Structure 1
Amino acid sequence: MTQQIDSDGRLRHLLTLDGLPRQTLCHLLDRAGQIRDAAMGRINRRQVLAGSSVCTLFFEPSTRTRSSFQVAAQRLGADVLNFDASTSSTRKGETARDTLKNLEAMGVRCFIVRHSDNGAVHDLAAVAGEGTTLINAGDGRSAHPTQGLLDALTLRQAKGADFSCLKILMVGDVRHSRVARSDLHALRTLGAGEIRVCGPASLLPEDDTLAGCVVGDDFEQMLQGVDAVMMLRLQRERMEEGLISSLEDYHRDYGLTAERLRLAARDAVVLHPGPVNRGVEITDEVADGPQSLILRQVSNGVAIRMAVLETLMT
């Protein structure tokens, strides 16, 4: 079996959506839908993980993901330890592995890990003790599986469970985006009818990440008739690296405006993983408009992360 699924077919870690069985992925989506009231604090489920300890082991900054996991764990009744690498012994040279093993020795059995290095969470999972579970909260450019799940859940709520009839457009910096990779894994597993990817060549990957996708750089052409538009955050350092000429030029060519959105299907929806660079990837009118599901994604993030924690820890 894979590193994240044990010999009994049980999910032990959540490291990536790549290769995750459709049945497992759909179970997580179904469970998140069932417990959404609890995720919003309307139903008490604090007995589920009472007495368990969860650590958010973040070696990179985060707002939405870290806060969402913390809320999810607390609403299931777990004790949450927030690890901040900037104030920890990692500044004294302690390795991520030693940090993990020391926290394991304190009785922590679930680690939610964000790291800047590709594959870092897989490496930690390989040395984790029996009964310890790891959740990848974003590693390098590799994967952000719970973001892929919450985006899939948001789309399913808006468009139904049959993805085979959907045309979905992803726009922006796919090359450097772990969110894009996990979204693509989820969309393929769920059988999306057509996946389009649009962006400047400098921000598109040169490997097989986009296999099976319709790829182009003409945003308005790619928007024609799509059912969902998934905008990606433009990391501003790409301008410093010379991969784009300016933020203004990027917005001119790839910014989603109300006028451009009218080229999509009449009932098209808009997603964005955040943080949103308003006036760069998307205008205020679209981000705050009736077709935007951005805040729905945020609330779904709590439900998905509750479903993942519950599945892994019970």
Structure 2
Amino acid sequence: MKDSIHPNTVLGEVHLKVSNLARSIQFYKEVVGLQVLDQTVDSARFTVDGHQVLLAIQEVTGAIVPRRSSAGLYHFAILVPDRKALGLSLRNLIQFGIHIGQADHLVSEALYIADPDNNGIEIYRDRPRESWKRDAQGNYKMATDPIDWDGLLAEAGDDSWTGLPPGTIIGHIHLHVSDLQQSKAFYIDVLGFTVELNGAANMGALFIAAGGYHHHIGLNIWAGVGAPLAPAEGTGLAYFTIVVPNQAELQAVIERVSQAGIAVTEANGAWALKDPTGIEIRLVINK
């Protein structure tokens, strides 16, 4: 039996490469609703509570925006604590007049947008876990039904939008990968996540998680089997962070990674490695 990653494992900071720092800061503050925690001449970090970093961005000199046929980020997902917060975000997005995708996934309600560099963003809220259903194969039942726009806006009422509220976290990340089976072997057999929805046969995607969540990581081959990563000078995902609860769990994961022959390096309290597609992951302990 394979070792499973700790059920309290979650996702942490997402680090993106952008082409224009000032433009991206304005977007993530005014449209998404994050607060700048700190910034330098070419980077910025964002928070909702003044402490925890949810997103970091780095300006790349001469950056190019890669095509959607590249492996890497499909979207990162910001989980708000309740339906009212999602309704307030929806109203703000409408006021900015940007394109909004949407879906009722049964386990959640989701809004989809893109930043100025075409990095995909999901803003969503979960339904209560006790309402999530599984099919006979053990997969969570998820769908792409239309959301209740009017109901969400009614939840917002006349309250002012003041940005994303405390309690907002990075809920999951969805990745374009080059090979689904290699990715499954890495994320399931090595890191220890569990498949929660296997759509490999009919939709070319897997949704995996720790602790019975509907998904912390989505993996798809929608950019094409064998899709290469965007070039180093391209915008997109620099890395994402997996947060384990304690030192013992961190050591257990690192040992499995090392035994699989995968290089892992430590720097500034984080352990860096790459998945089979070449996407960088940072492992850290929850603080």
Structure 1 and Structure 2 fold alike (TM over 0.5)? no
| Bigger-Rg structure (1/2) | 1
TM (norm. structure 1) is: 0.29
Give the structure with the larger helix fraction. 1
TM (norm. structure 2) is: 0.31
Give the structure with the larger strand fraction. 2
